[in-house]
Amino acid sequence: MAVVASPGSSVGVPERPGRLLAVDRVLLAYLAIVTVVAIDRASEDPRCWWLVLANALTAALIGLLTRRERGDIGRKLREIYPLLLLAGLYGQLDVLNGVGIQVYDELVQRWELAVFGAQVSRTWWQAAPNRFGSTLLHAAYFSYYFIVTMPAFIFLVRGDLLAARRFVLAVMTTFVLCYLAFIFFPVAGPYYTFPRPAAAFLDNAAARLVYDTLARGSSFGAAFPSSHVAATVAAVAASWQGSRRLGLALLAPTLLLTIGVVYCQMHYAVDALAGLALGAIVAYVVGRQYPDSERASP
């Protein structure tokens, strides 16, 4: 059995040409479920038929990427292509949840009251408005886009295929589970249900960047669990397993992001708690599937 590693590197994992990786199977299962849901909801929103077509093309792409004949670029693309699909998969949620779907915010708000005694995302920033805190935590919120993607590229550049594969599987499995929750248990979240924070609280560059980004690409019903928290927790845990230094570097922004999604009124506090639990569980399971003992010998 051959070992795949970047030129000059001895860090790799066994390669089985033509075989599906774990992340491929996760994605194909997700695409199958979403396609069934899209067909079911197409009578209410014909745009769902475009999702069926997109998912069929994505499945075909996965099949092509499993082919044995790949150059160096093709091998790297094989490992990180799932991260390149994230924007499209997330965008599908707005179509699936845009057909008068029932949301469960009232139930989640009752959980919030039961656990915390208040609607934390609504009252926290009001009780302690802070311009610096708003700037820092909105910036941490935006750092999510880098935390869930860049480590995979760093590991590939280093030639650490095992760490890259483990990272991508952990992050994508977390996203897939979150997206399924959004489809079958849609929660709009405080971003949609509560009035926006005061203008003075949002009068900083980081907050404007976050709100501009959400205005262009937010999907309705995607609040519980917080995929921001879940995916970053899984990403940090997988990064730590591949590189202690990288994991430590990502720890502070992840902690700030977890606080920020609530303080900046993007998620209910129970969304963040559920995200923490989900990300940690997925990272643990994936870490068991890809232990460091699978590394190739020099």
- d(Cα 30, Cα 56) in Å, to the nearest integer? 12
- What pLDDT sits at residue 15? 54
**Lowest pLDDT segment from 20-34, 69-83, 264-278:** 69-83
Q: What is the pTM of this model?
A: 0.89
Q: What is the pLDDT of residue 4?
A: 42
**Contact, 218 vs 143, CB < 8 A?**
no
d(CA 126, CA 164): 41
Cα end-to-end distance, the chain, whole Å:
15
Give the mean model confidence (pLDDT) for residues 153-161.
Answer: 93
Place of tokens 């907050």: 207
What pLDDT digit, counting tens, does each position of 163-198 carry? 999 999 999 999 999 999 999 999 999 999 999 999
In sequence order, the β-bridge partners of residue 4 are 13
CB 149 within 8 A of CB 221: no
Beta bridge partners of 14: 3
Q: What is the mean pLDDT of residues 146-150?
A: 95
What is the average pLDDT across 86-114?
91
pLDDT value at residue 7: 37
Contacts of residue 120, Cβ cutoff 8 Å, sequence gap at least 6 = 112, 262, 268, 269
pLDDT at 10 over 60: no
d(CA 217, CA 233): 22
Q: What is the mean pLDDT of residues 154-159?
A: 93
Task: Give the pLDDT confidence score for residue 100 in this predicted structure.
Answer: 74
CA angle centred on 222, ends 221 and 226, rounded to 5°: 145
Range list of H helices, 143-226: 144-147, 150-158, 161-184, 190-193, 205-217
